[in-house]
Amino acid sequence: MPRQSDRTGLRRRLAELRGPEVPARPLDARALAALAANPGCDRRALLDGAGVDKAELARALGAPSDAGQSQFAFMRGNAFEARVKADGGAELLRLTHARLGGGPEPVPGRARVPDLSAAGPEGRATRTELALREAVAEGGWTLLDHPMLALDVAGSPAFLEPDAVVVAPDGSWAVVEIKSFPMIDGAADPAKVGAAARQSAVYVLALQEVAARLDPVPEVRERVLLVCPRDFSNLPAGAAVDVRKQLAVTRRQLSRLTRVEDIAGALPEGTAFDTGLPVGELTAAVEAVPAVYAPECLSACELAFHCRSRARGAGAVTALGRSVRGELGGLTTVADVLAAAHGEAGDPADPADPAVAALRRAQELRAEALAGAAAAPGSGRERGV
């Protein structure tokens, strides 16, 4: 475990990267899920770990992004969540019992809703852990409204705030995720459910770390309760979502992240991401951190437009997608791919490489097809056009 002096030094270094007097932007579960989906991107790992506002950074670089939730969706989601949690969370607890079980049916007005307020995220995380311990000891139903969970990510602490955590009479803990997209005839948009599952898996992972410090260790359910509006109404509907697969992927991907202090230590002295800096200096700072761009970044990262422009400018095959990049092996630029396909003189590509062999065969087939089309009756070449 890092010494306190090491953590203090890291925090000081990350504050220097953000810029003087710039507050750290919290690392939430949505960002962590996106980070876990692209663990090879040092740029995102460092910027998120340092608490840099990537949306503001993208605007300063001249490549603003529309990634994120609209203000209308944010307000609608808050209104729906308030309805779900009304009356001491009676409806939310009823849905939890109906979809996940956990013991006797909750009695309206009898569940505990502890006060989780405290100073700062560290204080709130400590208060949440204490409330969880008390809930297990006292039994019955307990609803934790917006608890705070801490999770170590690449050597930097992240504080996560799920919509709710429910402690059932059997001592089990369950994450509740409340979304404003509709559940029509008992089913919701699979893409949105998948995104919610990946986000919930981060909460489950953090909750498991809290549970591991208790004796005996309580069960943290790996099925979460997803609550959405029913059909086209504002009435809540619930569904149990199995996040075991997402949990395993998230745990593995987060473990692969390079530690933030290692990335920061490799940067030139004086590097900073302060949006008040001149554009040229800010661009040089961003480019000093390696990035791994993929088209999927467009829906998950505020810097995606900037990184896409750089990838295209460099002719990087990553701009074509991860599947294409994987098929091309050691060929990392479009120029390398075209040279390998045509077998140009001086091309260092190994003809025995499966990717090179496939490209050259594809080029031969293309040439044959074009020649056949040109020689076919009615073609422009035959008519002398």
Using the 8-state DSSP alphabet, how is residue 318 labeled? G
Q: Predicted confidence band at 1 (pLDDT cuts at 50, 70, 90)?
A: very low
Query: 9 vs 199, which has greater pLDDT?
Result: 199
Q: Is 36 helix (H, G, I), strand (E, B) or coil?
A: helix
Which pLDDT value is given to residue 7?
62
Which pLDDT value is given to residue 22?
84
* Whether the Cβ atoms of residue 224 and residue 200 lie closer than 8 Å to each other: yes
Highest mean pLDDT among 27-41, 62-76, 131-145, 358-372: 131-145
Task: Using a pLDDT cut of 90, give the percent of the chain over it.
Answer: 49
> Residue 95 pLDDT more than 60?
yes
Q: Predicted confidence band at 67 (pLDDT cuts at 50, 70, 90)?
A: low
* Whether the Cβ atoms of residue 104 and residue 112 lie closer than 8 Å to each other: no
Nearest in space to 317 (alpha carbons), one of 327, 309, 325, 326: 325
Mean pLDDT in residue range 196-220:
94
Mean pLDDT in residue range 358-363:
84
- Phi, then psi, of 159 in degrees rounded to 5: -110, 120
Q: Predicted confidence band at 347 (pLDDT cuts at 50, 70, 90)?
A: low
How far is residue 162's CA from residue 364's CA, in Å, rounded to a whole number?
A: 55
Name the average pLDDT for the chain.
Answer: 87
Query: 349 vs 32, which has greater pLDDT?
Result: 32
Which pLDDT value is given to residue 248?
93
Q: How many CB atoms lie within 10 A of CB 130?
A: 13
Highest mean pLDDT among 91-95, 247-251, 315-319, 349-353: 91-95
Query: Could you give the domains of the chain?
Result: 4-68+259-325 (no CATH), 71-254 (3.90.320), 328-375 (no CATH)
> Residue 312 pLDDT more than 60?
yes
Which pLDDT value is given to residue 34?
83
Which pLDDT value is given to residue 4?
52
pLDDT, one tens digit per residue, over 212-230 is: 999 999 999 999 999 999 9
Mean pLDDT in residue range 264-275:
89
Q: Read out DSSP for 250-316?
A: HHHHHHHSPPHHHHHHTSPTT----TTS-HHHHHHHHHTS-----GGGGGT-TTHHHHHHHHHHTTB
Which pLDDT value is given to residue 385?
41
The number of CA neighbours under 13 Å toward the Cβ of 9 is 9
Query: 97 vs 48, which has greater pLDDT?
Result: 97
Mean pLDDT in residue range 169-179:
96
How far is residue 102's CA from residue 94's CA, in Å, rounded to a whole number?
A: 11
Which pLDDT value is given to residue 70?
63
Contacts of 109 (CB under 8 A, 6+ apart): 87, 88, 90
Q: In what order do the strands lie in the sheet with 236-242?
A: 142-145, 164-167, 173-178, 223-229, 236-242
Cis peptide bond prior to 182, omega within 30° of 0: no
Mean pLDDT in residue range 277-282:
92
> Residue 373 pLDDT more than 80?
no
